[in-house]
Amino acid sequence: MKKYIRTIQDNKNPSYTNSFKKAALYLTFGLLCNFSVNAQQDAQFTQFIFNKMTYNAAYAGNNLGANLSVIHRQQWVGLAGAPVSSAVNFSTRLPNKRVGLGFTYIHDEIGPTKSWAANFAYAYRITLPKGELAVGLQLNFRQYRVNWGEAVTIHQNDQLIQEAKSSKILPNTGFGVYYETEKFYVGLSSPHFVNGDLSLVENFVSDVEMSALEVPHYYAMAGYIFKINEAVKFQPSILFSIVKNTPLSADLNPMLILQDKLWFGFNFRFGGSTVRGLAESIDFLLQYQVTPALRLGAAYDQSLSEIKLMTDGTFEFYAHYSFTKNKAVEGKPKYF
């Protein structure tokens, strides 16, 4: 949904804020009514390379020991009702070193709509000559909620809104495959691949049934480490997002790593606006390994689409903590 609000193209003022609220309401109906529009329903994060478990259940337990990460994204700062997304990931590998368990909580909101998802992941690892292959399964529950009291209506006492439900919880399931070596990784996944009925409106409008689906989302990711010298490494990564009836989205993320402590680079997001070219945004990323256990990061997105005229950009913050006490593991850099 976040990538297709293209209705506000002029200077910041209250009338445009109201326009955004109306656009958010229309998109709410678009999300809930599949005859109207198709859009990406999953939360979007720029620092995807450090947030893989949100996308791929097979990543659970990838880091030895217990690990906790938190990421928060404030999109399109300056616009009332703009998207706000957060994710908390926890994973651990069992003593047999083959099984990984993970839990992810995601909160996402835009305008009058809010959703949360609780994902439980199981991953099994197979040791291969040059790396590890993991296969993961995921069970998730997602709630969609609409605060109709915030709706900007055209007609007072709209019967459609009065009869609409305010929330719905859907169970779903997902899968993932992830392969990693010391220099390379690749993954394919779908966090939820079963169509789910999330209709909040059980009615007909102009003889058109108001139905809605939670549609499958598919992701493909890959990355590589190039050693330039003992102090500098180059790490390009890419993430493809595939959703039926929406444009293919791709994030290209080249980063430099200095002394295995400082990560900085760019992210180019393609597949957004059809008005101002292919690129939707250019993003700036910075991560620092504060201690062997703690890593902090931030990102700033500068939109290249027409909505840039209305925002101060997008901000994202990240923190990761490893509970591992194994000194051999603590001293080994984890690039992926």
DSSP class of 17:
H
- Region of poorest pLDDT, from 236-240, 253-257, 303-307: 303-307
**What pLDDT was estimated at residue 311?**
85
φ, ψ for residue 59, nearest 5 deg = -80, -15
**What pLDDT was estimated at residue 162?**
57
**What pLDDT was estimated at residue 317?**
97
Average pLDDT over residues 244-273: 89
DSSP class of 244:
T
Residue 122 CB contacts under 8 Å (≥ 6 apart), including other chains:
57, 60, 99, 100, 101, 102, 136, 137, 138
pLDDT tens readout for residues 128-162: 999 999 999 999 999 988 877 666 666 666 656 65
Residue of higher predicted confidence among 256 and 11 = 256
* Per-residue pLDDT at 327 exceeds 70: no
What percentage of the chain exceeds 90 in pLDDT? 52
* Per-residue pLDDT at 305 exceeds 90: no
**What pLDDT was estimated at residue 156?**
65
* Per-residue pLDDT at 82 exceeds 50: yes
> How does the average pLDDT of the chain come out, rounded?
81
Is pTM beyond 0.85? Reply is no
Q: Map out the domains of the chain with their CATH numbers.
A: 2-330 (2.40.160.40)
φ, ψ for residue 152, nearest 5 deg = -95, 105
**What pLDDT was estimated at residue 315?**
96
CA distance 130 to 221: 19
**What pLDDT was estimated at residue 202?**
58
Residue of higher predicted confidence among 40 and 249 = 249
Cβ–Cβ < 8 Å for 334, 324: no
Sign of dihedral through CA atoms 24, 30, 31, 32?
Answer: positive
pLDDT tens readout for residues 93-137: 998 889 999 999 999 998 888 899 999 999 999 999 999 999 999
What percentage of the chain exceeds 70 in pLDDT? 73
Average pLDDT over residues 305-327: 85
DSSP class of 191:
S
